[in-house]
Structure formats: C-alpha cells, structure tokens
C-alpha cells in the first residue's frame, strides 16, 4: 500500500500543476468575446442569446454572423429589443444554415450585454452546432480595430422526441469534461493495477512462506529436521540388526 501512495503522490502533484494551466486562459491578454448563452427550451423551441463581453474596451460595432445545423434546427425569430446596440445594418435569417447580424452604436459601449436573442425550432434530432463565421468582428471605438478573441461554438443535443431539454455546452466545455473524465479513468486504472500487483504479490509471498513452513515441519527444511530423519534411519537399521542376532541358530559341537 505504501508503494501505491509513493507512486501516486508525484503523479497527482504534476496533475495539479498541469490541469489548471490546460483549462485556464491568460487574463492579461483578455480581448472582447462573443458567445451563445442558452436561455430556455419550450416544447420544440430553443431560445439562445448572442452575448458580448468587451473586456474593458470601448466598442462601437459588431458583426456576429453564424452558421447552424439546418437539418436539426430552424431559425424562427430574431429579437433585438433588448440589444445594447441601437442600429442594425443586417438582421437576416432567410437562408438555411446561416444568420447575418451587424450592428453599431454611436455612443460606444463598455461591459457585457445581449446583442440579439435567437429562437430556433427543433426539426430533427442529434447534435447541432452554432458557429460564428470568420466575418465576425468586434470593433474598438478609437482605432476601429478588431479586438475579438476567437469565439467558441455552441453545441445543442436534441433528443428524438424533440421535447426533452437538450444538453448544451461550448466545445471547450465538452473537451474539458472529456479531459477530466479521461484523467479520472487513468488514475483509477493506475490504482487498480498497483493494488492488483500488491495483492497478488502478497498472496504469492504468503504461499511461499507456507510451503517453506510445511517442509520444515515435516523434517525436510532445516538441519534439525535432517538430523531427526537420520536418527530414525539409524534406529531402524539397529533394530533390524538386533532382530537377526536374536533369531540366528546356535551351532552345537559334540564332544568326542
């Protein structure tokens, strides 16, 4: 058991150092982000928000074009009533599988908020992916440069009955969960392997000790046992010799 602990300590220590770095981002290089945020699921309607975080920058324009799985989802409405942007240049979902959204504000905006709310209808089952296109940008007010960090896709898993609340998550969340599950599985495999090795090694050692003890108790595994065996052999030979002398015929000679 001590061997298992000694081997696992460095493994766990390294994991605690590597995993946080693997799943975290450097805050010092923070840029504006666009993301899909799930709102609700009502019967066969899925509602999600397109959400922006300027990360402290003042922005005045956004393009948030995105594609979606048209064999599973259908866009039925885009609501811009609660948008933080006043003016929309594009608000088009007439084509299957793609939505065009472009908007701006003259006052500039800093903070977090909703760009638009999208309503989908589930028309099929399976995993549907929402992905921002390469045309997506967030423009900084002063320099008009794009400060958008690479946006993540959103994944919806729609059940066959199209009524059950779908499982949602971004690609990084799916990868993170998969990585954690794989890490736990690896630790469990190592623990069971080492435990099995220790258990079978203990059984083998115990059987070996039992065999040695058995030989010793029977007089074949120690100097004392060999001495007893030789003594018994000599006693047996001596007994046979006495027996022959006792019953041997006596020669009688006649006097002349």
pLDDT digits (tens, 9 = 90+) for 70-84: 999 999 999 999 999
Inter-residue contact 194 to 208 (CB < 8 Å)? no
Does the residue 188 lie in any domain?
Answer: no
Give residue 169's domain range: 31-173
Does residue 180 belong to any structural domain of this protein? Answer: no
Query: Which positions of the chain have pLDDT values less than 50?
Result: 2-9, 11, 13-14, 18-20, 22-28, 171, 173-177, 212, 216, 218-222, 254-256
- Cα 38 to chain centroid, rounded: 24
Does residue 222 lie within any of the structural domains?
Answer: no
Q: Does residue 2 lie in a domain region?
A: no
- Closest by CA to 66, choosing from 128, 13, 4, is 128
Residue in the block written with tokens 């030989």:
215
How do 112-122 and 154-158 pair as beta strands? unpaired
CA pair distance 3, 8, nearest whole angstrom: 9
Total count of domains within the chain: 1
Residue 143 falls within a domain, yes or no? yes
Identify whether 169 is part of a domain: yes
Please give the Cα distance from 167 to 184 (Å, whole number): 22
Say whether pTM exceeds 0.75.
Answer: no
Rounded distance between C-alpha atoms, residue 219 and residue 225, angstroms: 4
Q: Is residue 121 part of a domain?
A: yes
Q: What are phi and psi of 234, to 5 degrees?
A: -65, -40
């Amino acid at each position: 058991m001590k061997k298992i602990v000694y081997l696992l300590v460095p493994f766990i220590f390294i994991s605690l150092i590597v995993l946080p770095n693997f799943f975290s981002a450097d805050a010092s290089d923070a840029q504006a982000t666009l993301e899909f945020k799930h709102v609700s699921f009502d019967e066969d309607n899925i509602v999600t928000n397109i959400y922006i975080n300027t990360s402290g920058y003042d922005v005045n324009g956004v393009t948030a074009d995105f594609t979606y799985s048209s064999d599973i989802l259908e866009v039925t409405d885009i609501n811009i009533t609660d948008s933080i942007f006043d003016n929309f240049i594009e608000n088009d979902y007439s084509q299957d599988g793609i939505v065009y959204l472009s908007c701006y504000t003259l006052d500039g905006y800093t903070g977090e908020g909703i760009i638009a709310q999208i309503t989908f209808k589930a028309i099929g089952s399976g995993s549907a992916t929402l992905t921002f296109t390469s045309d997506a940008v967030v423009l900084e007010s002063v320099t008009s440069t794009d400060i958008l960090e690479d946006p993540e896709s959103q994944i919806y898993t729609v059940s066959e009955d199209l009524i059950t609340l779908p499982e949602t998550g971004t690609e990084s969340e799916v990868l993170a969960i998969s990585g954690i599950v794989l890490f736990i599985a690896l630790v469990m495999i190592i623990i069971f392997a080492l435990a099995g090795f220790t258990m079978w090694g203990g059984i083998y050692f115990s059987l070996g000790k039992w065999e040695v003890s058995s030989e010793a108790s029977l007089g074949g595994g120690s100097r004392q046992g060999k001495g007893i065996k030789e003594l018994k052999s000599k006693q047996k030979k001596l007994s046979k010799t006495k027996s022959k002398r006792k019953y041997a015929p006596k020669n009688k000679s006649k006097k002349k």
